[in-house]
Amino acid sequence: MVKKRACVFISGKGTNLKSLIHNTRNYNFPININLVISNNYLAAGILFAKKNSIPYFVVDTSQRNFESLILKKIKKNKIDIICLAGYMKILSQNFIKNFGKKILNIHPSLLPKFKGLNTYYKIIKNREVHTGCTVHVVNEKLDSGKIIVQKKITVYRHDSVESLKYKTQKLEYRAYPEALIKIFRYN
């Protein structure tokens, strides 16, 4: 099987990146990670790229042309799919259009519920009984593209932001690989 070339965008810890790298070791997994992009020099997740000899590129997003710098790298590396994993910058419509291929994102709620930031806090405040995570296609609206995979868990009364985050992220490490398998099985 010829694996697709993926680029993972991160801003922070990169635990989803770590889990995806782990999955790429499986012969049947449809992607390899050929590039990691971060908008944050201090993102701990860059370490996973280093450890696994994956080329990485940190871009200063205060620069006006930062998206064209990213696009250049992506084109040079012949990237087939972008996976956002905790990337805290919104991609412009222009970027999405110019890349022209699938961009996925993972969000820690059962979308369309609780788009945007402070998700766990909103879930607890709203006394939700269930929550989960969603892998979706990125479009020009925040957390709004086509849903590929969704996984659900129960929210208990004793749950806190920390416990919800812990449980949801464990789900995410299964949801993202599943979404990639689903996408490339049918394409």
Helix, strand, or coil (residue 162): helix
Among 29-37, 71-79, 102-110, 151-159, which window interacts with ligand GRF (CB under 6 A)? 102-110
Among 11-19, 27-35, 70-78, 90-98, which window interacts with ligand GRF (CB under 6 A)? 11-19
Closest of 94, 93, 99, 98 to residue 145, by C-alpha: 93
Q: Which of 107, 130, 136, 158 is catalytic?
A: 107
Examine residue 8 and tell whether it contacts ligand GRF (CB under 6 A).
no
Distance (Å, whole) CA 182 – CA 187 = 9
Q: How far is the CB of 30 from ligand GRF (least distance, A)?
A: 20
Residue sitting closest to ligand GRF (CB): 86
Q: Identify the H or E element spanning 48.
A: helix 46-51
Residue among 6, 21, 38, 45 that touches ligand GRF (CB under 6 A): 45
Q: How far is the CB of 182 from ligand GRF (least distance, A)?
A: 18
Distance (Å, whole) CA 117 – CA 121 = 9
Q: Specify the residue for token string 């620069």.
A: 63
* β-bridge mates for residue 153, sequence order: 131
Active site includes 107?
Answer: yes
Residue among 4, 7, 9, 15 that touches ligand GRF (CB under 6 A): 15
Cβ nearer to ligand GRF, comparing 4 with 136: 136
Compute the residue count for the chain: 187
- Strands 31-38 and 4-10, by their bridges, are parallel
Q: Which of residues 167-186 bind ligand GRF (CB under 6 A)?
A: 169, 172
Q: Which of residues 109-168 bind ligand GRF (CB under 6 A)?
A: none
Spell out the residues 6+ positions from residue 115 whose beta carbon is closer than 8 angstroms to its own.
Answer: 107, 109, 142, 143, 144
Active site amino acids = 107
Residues that bind ligand GRF (CB under 6 A): 10, 12-16, 45, 85-86, 106-108, 169, 172
